[in-house]
Copies of this chain bind each other. A is one copy, B any other.
Amino acid sequence: MASLPEIQAMKRALELALLGRRAVSPNPMVGAVVLDSSGNSVGEGFHEKCGAPHAEINALSEAGAAASSGTIVVSLEPCCHYGRTGPCTDAIIKAGIRKVVIAMRDPHPNVSGKGIEQLESAHIEIETCVLLDEAELLNRVYLHYLRTSRSWVTLKMALSMDGRTAAKDGSSRWLSCEESRKQVHRMRASAQAVMTGAGTVRDDNPELTARFTDQPLEEQPVRIVVSATGDLGNSRKIFGKTGRVIIAVPENVSCKLQKFQREFGADIWGFPADSTGYGFNLTLLLERTASEGFGEILCECGRGLATMLMRKKLVNTLSVFTTPLILGGEGLPAFEKLGIDSMVDSIRLENVRSSLSGTDTHLEGEVVYGTD
């Protein structure tokens, strides 16, 4: 059993880990706290960005000689391989640490228990699974990435009480109250990338930047536009004043988009054309975004892309703002058919967060597909 000071140190380590959120993705967020032999905290650290020293190294360096015969509390199993930095296990052994408290094993194939083995062979006491659930939740994007090589998708929707995204004629202003709109800007501010469909770009001409926050211009999320046809209409706000724009299309239409590359410096990503859904395989897109370091993508899109992402089970978090009005059966539905025949097949949320947002309500949770 971990002692109370060790558990408190783990809580702190998880807080520290979160500070690296945007910069380390899709690598794991890690925090570490060093306790001296009397149980006092003498060093803290977190993984600040890819390629920078690991949390353990930062915490040990702050602790200095006080680490000797002490304990290191770390939210993820220490690494034992030479990556961009040296193995943390070596540094822990060298610092004279007597006990290592770990929240979760690192499922990365280069680690996966080997870090713990190395520490044990150096006769260091090991305690694992301390605040395991919290650590897994914190690193859900990393765990998802290891399992699927894809980015984590958060689908945000604004709906009427009867589940409509717009009235019959397509009008949808304002389907969310002011507080919810501000909340969406905060979500964008903490996202690395915001994804939408070309239909939304054509119809709404959105900027998809984080406004009404103190977000610096240079930290605006990357915008990703998904198009089956390459037709973005005459909307240009998405290219905005700053930041990268990626346009994902089937290869056979990518030539149409070279003007956007020339005029706005947009990145054009072509994928093999197919007829199974959105012109190309969205899974390939999410693999590419992950490989380029976008661990998590906020998706604000129309019914077509939302339906396709749901059908392909690519939505990981669903975040719905519901506003107190009714648009009737003629209003535009949130989704097209999803292949749900009965309640037992319904798409459910787990780890549900429900909250009030001005006069709207906000339901958010991780998606569990009916046939999972």
A interface residues (Cβ-Cβ under 8 A, vs B)? 159-164, 166-169, 171-173, 175, 307, 310, 318, 320, 322, 324-331, 333-349, 352, 354-356, 359-363, 365
Query: B335 near A326 (CB under 8 angstroms)?
Result: yes
For the complex, what is the distance from the CA of A172 to the CA of B346, rounded to whole Å?
10
For the complex, what is the distance from the CA of A149 to the CA of B138, rounded to whole Å?
58
Query: B169 near A341 (CB under 8 angstroms)?
Result: yes
Instruction: Note all chain B residues with C-beta closer than 8 A to A338.
Output: 326-330
**In the complex, how many angstroms separate the beta carbon of A279 from the nearest chain B beta carbon?**
20
**In the complex, how many angstroms separate the beta carbon of A112 from the nearest chain B beta carbon?**
34
Query: A359 near B355 (CB under 8 angstroms)?
Result: no
For the complex, what is the distance from the CA of A337 to the CA of B335, rounded to whole Å?
17
Instruction: Note all chain B residues with C-beta closer than 8 A to A322.
Output: 161, 322, 361, 363
Query: B343 near A336 (CB under 8 angstroms)?
Result: no
Query: A356 near B359 (CB under 8 angstroms)?
Result: no
Contact with A354, one of B172, B331, B356 (Cβ below 8 angstroms): B356
Contact with A173, one of B159, B163, B172, B343 (Cβ below 8 angstroms): B343
Q: Which of A173, A318, A325, A365 has the most CB of B within 10 A?
A: A325
Instruction: Note all chain B residues with C-beta closer than 8 A to A356.
Output: 354-356
Q: Which of A310, A345, A354 has the most CB of B within 10 A?
A: A354
For the complex, what is the distance from the CA of A329 to the CA of B308, rounded to whole Å?
12
Query: A343 near B159 (CB under 8 angstroms)?
Result: no
Contact with A324, one of B160, B163, B349 (Cβ below 8 angstroms): B349
Query: A348 near B328 (CB under 8 angstroms)?
Result: no
For the complex, what is the distance from the CA of A163 to the CA of B335, rounded to whole Å?
10
CB-nearest residue of chain B relative to A338?
B328
For the complex, what is the distance from the CA of A359 to the CA of B171, rounded to whole Å?
31
Given A161-B320, A327-B346, 5 further pairs, Cβ under 8 A = A161-B349, A162-B163, A167-B345, A172-B343, A328-B340
Q: Which of A343, A345, A346 has the most CB of B within 10 A?
A: A343
Instruction: Note all chain B residues with C-beta closer than 8 A to A175.
Output: 343
**In the complex, how many angstroms separate the beta carbon of A31 from the nearest chain B beta carbon?**
30
For the complex, what is the distance from the CA of A129 to the CA of B356, rounded to whole Å?
32
For the complex, what is the distance from the CA of A162 to the CA of B326, rounded to whole Å?
12
For the complex, what is the distance from the CA of A328 to the CA of B164, rounded to whole Å?
12
Query: A161 near B159 (CB under 8 angstroms)?
Result: yes
Instruction: Note all chain B residues with C-beta closer than 8 A to A342.
Output: 167-169, 171
For the complex, what is the distance from the CA of A98 to the CA of B339, rounded to whole Å?
73
CB<8 Å pairs between A and B, sample of 18: A160-B163, A161-B318, A167-B340, A167-B343, A169-B341, A169-B342, A310-B328, A322-B363, A324-B352, A325-B346, A326-B340, A326-B347, A328-B336, A328-B337, A328-B339, A329-B333, A329-B337, A354-B361
For the complex, what is the distance from the CA of A355 to the CA of B310, rounded to whole Å?
28
CB-nearest residue of chain B relative to A334?
B162
For the complex, what is the distance from the CA of A334 to the CA of B327, rounded to whole Å?
10
Query: A162 near B354 (CB under 8 angstroms)?
Result: no
Instruction: Note all chain B residues with C-beta closer than 8 A to A169.
Output: 341-342
For the complex, what is the distance from the CA of A168 to the CA of B324, rounded to whole Å?
25
For the complex, what is the distance from the CA of A340 to the CA of B162, rounded to whole Å?
13
**In the complex, how many angstroms separate the beta carbon of A316 from the nearest chain B beta carbon?**
14
For the complex, what is the distance from the CA of A361 to the CA of B322, rounded to whole Å?
9
